[in-house]
Amino acid sequence: MTNKGTVKFNVGGTRYEVARSLLEAHPDVMITRMISEEWQQSNADNGEVYIERDGARFKYLLDYLRDGKVALPLNVSKKAVIDDLKYYGVDPEDRINYDNVEVPDVNSLFLNTMTSSEKALGNLVEEEHGLSEEIEQAERTLQELKDQKKDVCNRIQVFRAARVIYESIITEV
């Protein structure tokens, strides 16, 4: 325990500090009973309540207590969280509203991913088309430069031939 307003829990090595008011709003839940004075007097008090349970999933219990529902990421098992809720005595009469433990709709995620992928593919196709046009322009420019080089080379050959003829005429005279 830290102070009168919060309670420290160590759940499987993961530490949490929880508002006492949240726990007191749920008097039948096991963790609320664990912070009662008689329970605390019967256990060695090292400043926190230790629970041998999955610490990563404990936050979903707290979310459920706060909001009456919890949204799970894809990598967390709905069954495991519901088992935890039962273990902690959230609803000892098995009336937990299973619909309030939500997992993402895989179909929606898939469709959103596909839509995003299609947009990205469309952008890539447009970019490829633009690059293809740039390559074609560069190839045309390169061909024009090759043609200009060939023309310059031909003119140089003509100039050299003219110079040879001119020099032969001058040396004869």
CA separation for the pair 143, 5 (Å, rounded): 81
Mean pLDDT for the stretch of residues 26-54: 77
Query: For the segment 79-132, what is each residue's pLDDT rounded down to a tens digit?
Result: 898 889 989 988 755 455 666 676 666 666 677 777 888 888 888 888 988 899
pLDDT at 96: 59
User: Per-residue pLDDT tens for 61-94?
Assistant: 999 999 888 888 888 888 898 889 989 988 755 4
Q: Is 121 exposed, middle or buried (0-12, 13-18, 19+ CB in 10 A)?
A: exposed
- Residue 94: what pLDDT? 47
Task: Indicate if the pLDDT at residue 173 is higher than 80.
Answer: no
Question: Which pLDDT tens digit goes with each residue over 19-34?
Answer: 999 999 988 889 988 8
Residue 49 pLDDT: 87
End-to-end CA distance of the chain: 119
**31-53: average pLDDT:** 73
* Pairing of β 14-19 and β 70-71: unpaired
